[in-house]
Amino acid sequence: MTETTPQEDYLLDVETSVTGRAWKQRPAEYRITQAIAQQYDLPEIVARVVAGRGIDLDQAAEFLTPTLRQALPDPSHFKDMDKACARVVTAIEAGQKIAVFGDYDVDGATSSAVLKRFFTAIGQDLIVYIPDRITEGYGPNAKALLDLRDQGVDLVITVDCGIVSFDPLAAARKAGLDVIVMDHHQAEPRLPDAVAVVNPNRLDEPEGYGQMAAVGVSFIFAIGINRLLRQKGWYDAQNVPQPDLMRLLDLVALGTICDVVPLTGVNRALVTQGLKVMAGRSNAGIRALGDVAGIKETPGTYHAGFLIGPRVNAGGRVGRAPVGALILSTDDDHEAQQLAQELHTYNAERQAIEQMVLEQAMAQVAGRIGAGGEAPPVIVATGQGWHSGVIGIVAGRLKEFYQRPTIVIGIDDQGMGKGSGRSIYGVDLGAAITAARQAEILTAGGGHAMAAGLSVPEARIGDLEAFLLTRMMGDVDTALQTLSLKLDGSLSVSGVTTRLIDQLAQVGPYGQGNAQPRFALPRVTVQYAGVVGKDHVKCTLKGDDGAQIKAMAFRAADQPLGQLILSSRGQKIHVAGTLRKNSWNDRVSAEIFIDDAAKV
C-alpha cells in the first residue's frame, strides 16, 4: 500500500454533520490517480476511488481483476489441514459415516452446503446437523455429538464453530467419536481435543489469512480433500469423475459477504469469482431465494448481503435452523422453491420480532441516558424473553445509532442470558468477551473484533457491564475521537449517471474492508421530502446545475438525518451517500442512498 499525506481539511467544511461526523475525503495522490486512470482507461473519479483505498499502480491490476490463482493459499499452508484431509479420505475409503456440524448463520449454512455438495459430487453421503439457536445455542454440544455417535457416525466436522468447545469435544473423544474443527473465530492458547483443528486464527498460524470466513476455509478444505483423493488414485479406482469445485464459489461468496469479513486479499478474489458463478443461477436454492426476493438484475454484494442472506438466516432465527443449509444443498427445483417460500415467510416473522425488540431496547437505552445525555462507552441492553434470533440485528442497529459497542441480552425463564454484540472500528469486542469468559463472568463467549456472542447468568450482567466499561473505555474514547465519514469526493447532481455507476462497479466487490464509494452532493435543494413505508425518507434533490436526482434515507424518519431532510424542503443542504441504479417500468436511472447530511 502506498503512503499518502493525510488530508486534514474537512470536505465542504463539514466538521460536524447531522450524525456527528466530520466529512473527510480519502487521501489519494494525484500522480497515482492519473497513472491508474491512464493505464486502465478509467475516469479520473474512478481512479481516485482506487487510489483512495491505498492502491498504487503496481497493485492496481490485482485489485481490479483479482484471481484465485494468485490469491488462494495451498491447503497445506494451514496447520492440521493435511491431517484433517487425511482423516476424511481414510473415512471415505473405509466407508465410515461422516457428519458436518454447522453454525446456524449464513457462514455456517454455506460452509455446511459447500461440504455437502462436494461429498454429493463424489458420490458420498454427508449428514448435516445444524443446532437449534434457542434450545441448543451456539457451537457443538455434548448431547448432539453423542446422538450422532449413536446413529453410527464415526467422524464429525465442525464448521464455523468448535474452536473453544473444550468440554463437548472432550466428551466426544471419550465416546470414541473423532472430530475435526474447521473454524475461523478467535482461538486461545489451548486448543480443543480433536483429530485436527484448522483455523487461520490459531495463535500459532502465521498472519495472512485470519480475515477469512469459515466458508472460505471449508472451500480450501474441499480442495485439499479433492487433491488427496486424486493423488491416491481414488477417482480412477472408483470410476468417479472429479468434481468442478469452482461451481461452489457462489456459496463461498454468499457466506463471505454475509459474515462481514474484509473483502480484501483472498476474500476479494473469492467473492469476485463467486458472484460470477451466482449470476449463472446454477444453485437451485440461491436461484429460488433470488426469485422470492425479487432480484432481477445481476447479483452483487448488496443482493447477497441484504436480500438472500437474511432469508437464509431466517430459519435459524425462528427455530428452523436446518432449512438454510438444506436449501443451499438441494438440486431439486421444486424443493428449493418450497423452502424459499418457507424462508421468505420466516424472514417476515423475524422482521416483526426484531422491530418489537428494537423498540423496547431503544426505549430502555434512551431512558438510561436521559434527555440530552451522552451514551456510555459501552451499551448493554437486556430484556426478559427477547428472542435470541434477533438480538444480534438489534445490537447492530443500536451500535449504528449510538456509535458505541453494543451488547443486547435476552434472558430466559431460567435466569440465563444469551447475548450478541456488535462493535465499532478500533474496538475489539471479541477479545473483551473472551477475557470476560476467562474471568468467569460468562459461561460461554467469544467472537471477532466486530461481533461476539455470549451466555451470562442474569445475576452477573452488572458485573459484565462493569468489566467491559473498565476494559474498553480507553479504546472507545480513542475511536470516537477519530469518528468521521470518509468520502471519495464530491459530485454535481448532473455528474451522477448510470454510466458512472457502471464504471464504479469495476472497483468492486464492495463490502467490509472495501467500502462502497461515498460521495457528497454539495448545496442541493430539497424539492420534495416525505416518509415512505414505516420510517424511510424519500426525497428529490436539485443541484445548482438544475439537474434533479431521487434519493432515499433508510430508517431515518425518526432520526436526526431524516428530520433534517424533512425540515429542509425548499432549502439547500449538503448530502452524502452511495450511488445506485433504480429500474422502474423499463427505465433505469441513477439515485443516491443518503447516509449523512449537513446544513449549508
Structural domains of the chain, with CATH: 11-52+488-599 (2.40.50.460), 71-344 (3.90.1640.30), 374-484 (3.10.310.30)
- Per-residue pLDDT of 239-266, as tens digits, reads 999 999 999 999 999 999 999 899 999 9
Angle between helices 142-150 and 166-174 (to 10 degrees): 30
Q: Output phi, psi for 476, to 5 deg.
A: -65, -45
**Mean pLDDT computed over 389-409:** 94
Q: What is the pLDDT, as a whole number, of residue 449?
A: 85
- Per-residue pLDDT of 59-109, as tens digits, reads 999 999 999 999 999 999 999 999 999 999 999 999 999 999 999 999 999
Residue 9 above 80 pLDDT? Answer: no
Residue 1 above 70 pLDDT? Answer: no
Distances (CA, A) of 83 to 93, 172, 184, 365, 523: 15, 18, 17, 49, 62
Residue 111 above 90 pLDDT? Answer: yes
- Per-residue pLDDT of 126-182, as tens digits, reads 999 999 988 888 899 999 999 999 999 999 999 999 999 999 999 999 999 999 999
2 band by pLDDT with thresholds 50, 70 and 90: very low
Q: What is the pLDDT, as a whole number, of residue 276?
A: 97
Q: What is the pLDDT, as a whole number, of residue 7?
A: 45
**Mean pLDDT computed over 565-572:** 97
What string of DSSP letters covers 386-452? --TTTHHHHHHHHHHHHTS-EEEEEE-TTSEEEEEEE--TT--HHHHHHHHHHTTS-SEEEE-SSEE
Considering the chain, what percentage of its residues have pLDDT values greater than 90?
86
- Per-residue pLDDT of 544-563, as tens digits, reads 989 999 999 999 998 899 99
Q: Is 241 exposed, middle or buried (0-12, 13-18, 19+ CB in 10 A)?
A: exposed
Q: What is the pLDDT, as a whole number, of residue 4?
A: 41
**Mean pLDDT computed over 377-401:** 94
**Mean pLDDT computed over 224-249:** 98
Q: Output phi, psi for 212, to 5 deg.
A: -70, 145
